[in-house]
Amino acid sequence: MLDAPRATETCPQILHHFFLTLGVGWVQTHPSSASYKKSWGPGTAGTHSSNMRLSTKSQTFLLASVLLCTLLGLGYPLSCEVCTGSGPTCSGNVQTCDPDQDSCVVIVAHTNRKGHQSLNTYKGCMKSSACSSGFVSITMDPENYMVSNTRCCQSDACNHDPLPAPENNRTENGLQCPTCITYFKETCSSTKKVLCVGQESHCITCAGKVQTGVIFATRGCATENACHTKPGTLVPAASRIYTITQANCLPGPQPSGKAK
């Protein structure tokens, strides 16, 4: 008689055990019809039938194990709190994410757009491939910059708790980078320079699109981790959500006369 699967067996082992019980495993190891007929010829049927027979209890356990493996293989969609709001936090309903969204995210961003400052929070679902936890600072000029804190997590409603607002250190650090901002284009260029602040140590070239579908491009100073921004990263700003499509960096040069 075949033994029932052990509790310590892996899902592939349990599934193999299941198909072996059905006789598939036996057929695969005895491909020739002659061997097949000989093995199952007169006088052997009873022996094989006895060997392949499982008790009702073992059959139930085996079937339950197969169903469990199937469910684990399919997986369940993640659920995340979803909201946008002005201020250091927001509250919303917990919603089921799309199958390819395997992370919950909370982003708190301080933005200055043409001199208009705002603090905004976004919570929602996101692909892990587009989610990066940590602090980011990007400066295009003194009246256009963004600092943000992001936390990514992978369990249901794990983005409920508030995230501290990002530190907004505007102290110039001596580095400078080319700067430009343009809409309806994926690239921009300029001879103008911007002085970097705080932890910003790299020059960034960035492109993306606004929630309305308008594309944009920008250059400026950035923290090093901003250089690792993944396509699909979200940035909340006032009533809009910006989606980053690409980001490239170089170390920021010293201003003329200050190079080491």
Segment 5-12 mean pLDDT: 43
* pLDDT, tens only, 59-97: 665 565 555 544 444 567 999 999 999 999 999 999 999
| Res 106: pLDDT | 96
Collapse the DSSP code of 196 into the 3-class scheme (helix H, G, I; strand E, B; otherwise coil) and give the result. Answer: strand
Each domain of the chain, given as residue ranges in start order, spans 11-74, 79-251
Q: What span, in angstroms and rounded, lies between the C-alpha atoms of 74 and 229?
A: 30
Tokens read off for 21 = 């019980």
Segment 179-192 mean pLDDT: 92
| Res 236: pLDDT | 86
pLDDT tier, 226 (very low <50, low <70, confident <90, very high otherwise): very high
Is the pLDDT assigned to residue 43 strictly greater than 90? Answer: no
Using the 8-state DSSP alphabet, how is residue 128 labeled? Answer: G
* pLDDT, tens only, 130-162: 899 999 999 999 999 999 999 999 999 999 999
Is the pLDDT assigned to residue 179 strictly greater than 80? Answer: yes
Tokens read off for 100 = 């390819």
| Res 205: pLDDT | 95
Contacts of 56 (CB under 8 A, 6+ apart): none
| Res 241: pLDDT | 86
Q: What span, in angstroms and rounded, lies between the C-alpha atoms of 242 and 113?
A: 13
Is the pLDDT assigned to residue 255 strictly greater than 50? Answer: yes
pLDDT tier, 193 (very low <50, low <70, confident <90, very high otherwise): very high
Higher-pLDDT residue of 259, 22: 22
The burial of 98, by beta-carbon neighbours within 10 Å (0-12 exposed, 13-18 middle, 19 or more buried), is given as exposed
Is the pLDDT assigned to residue 121 strictly greater than 70? Answer: yes
Q: What span, in angstroms and rounded, lies between the C-alpha atoms of 233 and 17?
A: 44
Tokens read off for 254 = 């010293």
Is the pLDDT assigned to residue 235 strictly greater than 90? Answer: no
Is the pLDDT assigned to residue 188 strictly greater than 80? Answer: yes
Tell me the Cα Rg of the chain: 29
Nearest in space to 12 (alpha carbons), one of 97, 94, 69, 72: 69
| Res 61: pLDDT | 57
Q: What span, in angstroms and rounded, lies between the C-alpha atoms of 65 and 154?
A: 26
Segment 229-247 mean pLDDT: 86
| Res 218: pLDDT | 95
Contacts of 91 (CB under 8 A, 6+ apart): 81, 83, 85
